[in-house]
Structure 1
Amino acid sequence: MSNKSKNLSQENPDPTCYKCNSINYCAVGRASKILDNCPMKISPEVEKKAKEIYEKDEEIKKITKIASIVEAEGYIKWPRLKDTIEFAKRMGYKKLGIAFCVGLIKEAERVAEILEKYDFDVTGVCCKTGSVKKTDLGIPEEYTMKSKTGYTIGWITCNPAAQALLLNKANTDLNIICGLCVGHDITFTKLSDAPVTTLIAKDRSMPHNPAGVLFSHYGKEFFSKEFKEMRVKDKNK
């Protein structure tokens, strides 16, 4: 690691684990020799508190145990949906909720069909439930989308609050996000009584594979252009 990166770690007490070769350190039981701000070095009290949570909170303890077992059994072999199924089964969850984007209704339908094959009781709520107008929530009219023919297609807002409340009313054991917008997923998770997991992370430009942008040609070109525009703006300030 460069001296510049090391100096940054000395100045910043917050963790920057992404700058470390963690596979050679915490992943094998030892603190980083690269970063001075390794949390195992500078925040042992926090690490201790986290361990106590695993020991004392029975739900967290069970979730952690089952997640590790599912990870080990299905490593590389199972898709994420199978991981979710096995996790839910072993946690003893019976009723599963799906909070989905209207644009992924076919995917949500297929997910529900598969879950029902495993004897789960499945309920699902579309993001447009309630038919709340965007303008009624103070969203400027220019942010309601229009088709190429001028037909308004985005005047009804997504409604993650209602999705959460309806699934709360249904007394689900686990809720599964399928393609909620960035921000709407936060609202849903915040208001959900049941634990939440994400099956599909929405990314319209990358067929719902957000990681695809990181090392693909498209991703490099997109962010290269973005960063260039940022530099121009900074220069013109």
Structure 2
Amino acid sequence: MKCGKCGVFACYTGDINKAPDFCPMKTKGDVIDKALKKYDEFYEIASNSASVEADGYLKWSRVEETVEFAKRCGFKRIGIAFCIGLRKEVRTLIDVFERNGVEVFSVVCKTGSISKDDIGFKKINPNRFEVMCNPIAQAMLLNEANTDLNIIFGLCVGHDSLFIMHSKAPVTCLIAKDRVLAHNPIGAIYCSHHYFRRIFGNK
């Protein structure tokens, strides 16, 4: 599967006959058929996602889309797994949801206050006390709260993966952490001519 290198994107135009030989619509049609049947099970989420895309296209911010998606799905209990570095920003997000009639449960990444020394994790500064990020506990605590939807709010690379793996509720990402680019990771792609040596491994 090499969709990222396709120059045709027949899937987008609907002209399937023009799809290249490596297209999964040609090589893995059985998988696509199985996937289509799964939408019966997840119809509400898929349908509401499509309606938010259609109604808010080029009009709503990601925050507005997330609020509207939650409302259309009837989600009343929202979980937020946030980075301590965004503790000020998360208060604004909580206020937004609460003003829209949603109950919010938020868990900071440092919950548990477990030292990196106790678990053998590398520290940013070896000469000071550092608490590990605890995405598994964040997920488990939100599971205990029976949240309907969980939001990732600036978790580290890998920590977001662990959170998703352990969350019982559906997960959406509102902020992808990037400390260098103001949490706008695609900036490195847009400016690849500048970051070329770094992002392509030539340091």
Query: What TM-score does the superposition give when structure 2 sets the normalisation length?
Result: 0.93
Deviation sequence 1:54-88 (CA, Å, 0-9, x none): 13x1xx11111110000000001000011111110
CA pair 170-201 structure 1, distance change in 2 beyond 3 A = same
Deviation sequence 1:101-159 (CA, Å, 0-9, x none): 000111111110111110100110000010011122222xxx3123xxx9626x11000
Between Structure 1 and Structure 2, the one with more helix by share is 1
Q: 1:41 aligns with which of 15, 26, 47?
A: 26
2:52, 2:199 → 1: CA distance?
Answer: 39
- Superposition deviation, residue 52 in structure 1: 1.1
2:53, 2:201 → 1: CA distance?
Answer: 40
- In structure 2, the partner of 1:235 is none
Q: 1:196 aligns with which of 168, 171, 194?
A: 171
- Superposition deviation, residue 226 in structure 1: 5.4
2:71, 2:200 → 1: CA distance?
Answer: 45
- SS class of match (1:125): strand
What stretches of structure 1 move > 2 A for 4+ residues in a row? 30-35, 150-153, 219-230
Alignment RMSD: 1.8
Q: 1:162 aligns with which of 137, 143, 152?
A: 137
Report matched runs for 1:106-121 at 5 Å. Answer: 106-121=88-103
Q: Which amino acid aligns with 1:130?
A: G
- SS class of match (2:18): coil
CA pair 22-85 structure 1, distance change in 2 beyond 3 A = farther
Contact 1:32 1:38 in 2 (8 A): no
- In structure 2, the partner of 1:144 is 123
- In structure 1, the partner of 2:76 is 94
Q: Which amino acid aligns with 1:212?
A: G
Q: Which amino acid aligns with 1:48?
A: D
Contact 2:8 2:19 in 1 (8 A): no
- In structure 2, the partner of 1:221 is 194
**5+ unaligned residues in a row in structure 1: which ranges?**
1-14, 231-237
CA pair 135-31 structure 1, distance change in 2 beyond 3 A = farther
- In structure 2, the partner of 1:79 is 61
- In structure 2, the partner of 1:20 is 6
Structure with greater Cα Rg: 1
Contact 1:26 1:32 in 2 (8 A): no
Q: 2:115 aligns with which of 129, 133, 136?
A: 133
- Superposition deviation, residue 34 in structure 1: 5.5
**5+ unaligned residues in a row in structure 2: which ranges?**
none
Contact 1:102 1:128 in 2 (8 A): yes
- Superposition deviation, residue 95 in structure 1: 0.6
CA pair 121-226 structure 1, distance change in 2 beyond 3 A = closer
- Superposition deviation, residue 212 in structure 1: 1.0
Deviation sequence 1:23-59 (CA, Å, 0-9, x none): 5x1012233636211001111101111111113x1xx
